[in-house]
Amino acid sequence: MDQRSATLAWTNATNAVSPAQLDALSERVATAGTETIDVSAPAMDEPLGSIPACSEADVEGAVRRARQARSAWTTRSVADRAAVIDRFADLVLERRTMLLDLLQLETGKARRTAAEELLDVPLNCSYYRSIGPEAVASEKRRGALPGATSARVSYDPVGVVGLISPWNYPLALAVADAIPALIAGNAVVLKPDEKTPFVALALATLFAEAGGPKGVFEVVTGEGDVVGPALIDHIDHIAFTGSTETGRAVAERAGHNLIDCSLELGGNNPLVVLDDADVETAARGVLQACFSNAGQLCLAAERIYVDESLYEPFRDAFVDATRGLTVGTDLDYESDVGSLIDGAQLNRVEDHVAEAIETGATVLAGGQRRPDVGPFCYEPTVLADVDPDATVACEETFGPVVSLTPVPDEAAAIEAANDSPYGLNASVWTGSRDRGRRVADRIESGTVCVNDGYIAGWAAVDGPMGGVGDSGLGRRHGPEGIARYLEPRLIGTSRVGPLGVPSGAGSASKWLFEGMFRALGAGRRLRQWVR
Ligand code: NAD
């Protein structure tokens, strides 16, 4: 390993990550087999390390260990569990250089995108630490017969939560879903994408260092179509983030197993620039909305609709700003846009752009791969005159490509924005926040940001985040993000002995039921009269 590393460019780029460290992370995964999967650094297309290709039996073993460890974790107080999470957040901040380097090496993303991603961890930890005790506290509900009976609901952890995460935000997306599950008293088994497993393994190591008991945060690595289904067959809730296509398969399997699932899927997010928007501010802000993480962001805008009264000035300002973006792969803060994850993603982007051009689109900026910068780098690209039926307009490209379309007015912008089976994130730019919120109310999307691309929504961790339509089911963040990992249980108690009409009451039961019907009817009339 050391001999090989001497020839690798990535080892010269970082002092914080070594091949030996990656080998140690890989060894954390318990496997009975010897098969491995190679992981490479997209920025250079060089080998980074390898991870076990876990079998179904390995996954079963991981869930068994998690289930055993979970009993002791659940019986700890919420404050105790939250204290571990707090130390974990501190460690993530302390070890940020190592995590940022690792994240960049695994994904090829720009440093600033990696830093944005890392900020998400302490945000989520602090938030769920603060609402955790209230979320899991039992509560009184209205009894069946006020005074005679009482009702109490308790919120128990569901058990072992399975997390399946994608490669685009391997740090934030693992943690955003793991933290509330752990605070609620569950154990988790995380299956990271096979292209980006090391950050997930580093997080599990930091959790253990923070005092997390062995087995409570397990990581299984391997091929998605082997490890994913095996995981869903053994856990109690599956929180999946990934493509709509895989999400459907996950939902089917969860349905068969009668377990609950939350699905954070793809999008084809619209962005609307209204006629009262400040052109310069919008052009600068929209850059972030489209090109963060080289557009490999589920919340990124891919379709921009601009009121025709300011289409030309907006187009010119936006195209200028796009051309000014720096594409780079260094482990520093200099570049705006990094690499795509691999050759398949680069081909997908190129195919979408080529088809758009064939069907009439004009390239206003970008449109070229940049092998001089990195093997999978692609320029931030702005298209105009895109055929509404072109793939780039209808499907998620998941790359640094956006189309610009003029629209006659606000109503047409809303109609165009809603013309999609997806509904993950949308964005509205306007000089009036009230108008922005009114327009936002009419856009069919799980999140809509006004005068911002996605951060105002994503970083509001107290608010639920998720998609409608083909973009998913369920929500992460907010009280909803922890409620999905809790099983509500009702305990009803009678203070007056057994309820109901006693058997053997014979014809007297008719009068008892009649009395109840009349009392209920009178109560309803009284309520209507009081209203
Ligand atoms: P993907 O669906 O191919 O893979 C996601 C995860 O599922 C990976 O860990 C993969 O190994 C695993 N997997 C693959 N086959 C599986 C199977 N049969 N059963 C269970 N798991 C399986 O997605 P991707 O292409 O890697 O990720 C990009 C997609 O994720 C985009 O569509 C993007 O929009 C979406 N995404 C959504 C959100 C969100 O919050 N809504 C966030 C990030 C990414």
Please indicate, yes or no, if residue 221 is contained in any of the structural domains: yes
The helix (H) or strand (E) run that includes residue 357 is helix 343-358
pLDDT means per 10 residues, the chain with 531 residues, are 58 91 96 96 96 98 98 96 97 98 97 97 97 96 92 98 98 94 98 98 98 98 98 98 98 98 98 98 96 98 98 98 96 96 98 98 98 97 97 97 98 98 98 98 98 97 98 97 98 93 86 92 92 80
Burial state string for 249-261 with b = 16 or more CB within 10 A and e = fewer than 16: bbbebbeeeebbb
| CB count in 10 Å sphere of residue 355 | 14
Same domain for 123 and 142, yes or no, is: yes
Please indicate, yes or no, if residue 387 is contained in any of the structural domains: yes
Please indicate, yes or no, if residue 357 is contained in any of the structural domains: yes
- Closest residue by Cα to atom 6, ligand 1, is 166
Active site residue 94: no
> Coil, helix or strand for 33?
coil
Same domain for 70 and 137, yes or no, is: yes
Contact 365, 382 (CB under 8 A): yes
**Centroid of ligand 1 to alpha carbon of 246 (angstroms):** 6
Residue 311, domain CATH: 3.40.309.10
**Centroid of ligand 1 to alpha carbon of 339 (angstroms):** 19
Active site residue 298: yes
Strands 269-273 and 425-429: parallel
Please indicate, yes or no, if residue 31 is contained in any of the structural domains: no
- In whole angstroms, what is the distance from residue 168 CA to residue 396 CA? 14
Q: Residue 17, Cα to own-chain centre: how many angstroms?
A: 26
Counting from 1 in the atom list of ligand 1, the atom nearest the Cα of 253 is 19
Please indicate, yes or no, if residue 168 is contained in any of the structural domains: yes
Same domain for 222 and 302, yes or no, is: no
The helix (H) or strand (E) run that includes residue 492 is strand 486-494
Same domain for 257 and 366, yes or no, is: no
Same domain for 260 and 403, yes or no, is: no
Same domain for 317 and 436, yes or no, is: yes
Please indicate, yes or no, if residue 29 is contained in any of the structural domains: no
Q: Residue 454, Cα to own-chain centre: how many angstroms?
A: 13
The residue ranges of DSSP E strands in 119-268, in sequence order, are 139-141, 149-157, 160-164, 187-191, 217-219, 237-241, 260-264
By residue range, what is the domain housing residue 124? 53-265+479-486
- Closest residue by Cα to atom 26, ligand 1, is 166
- In whole angstroms, what is the distance from residue 331 CA to residue 101 CA? 6
List 54, 298, 377, 449, catalytic entry: 298
- In whole angstroms, what is the distance from residue 236 CA to residue 64 CA? 12
Contact 113, 167 (CB under 8 A): no
**Centroid of ligand 1 to alpha carbon of 187 (angstroms):** 22
- In whole angstroms, what is the distance from residue 192 CA to residue 163 CA? 8
At residue 7, the pLDDT reads: 63
Residue found under tokens 């830093």: 115
Same domain for 274 and 247, yes or no, is: no
Pocket of ligand 1 (CB under 6 A): 164-169, 173, 191, 193-194, 224-225, 228-229, 241-243, 246, 249-250, 264-267, 298, 396, 398, 424, 467, 472
Beta-bridge mates of residue 487: 156
At residue 3, the pLDDT reads: 43
At residue 419, the pLDDT reads: 97
Same domain for 284 and 219, yes or no, is: no
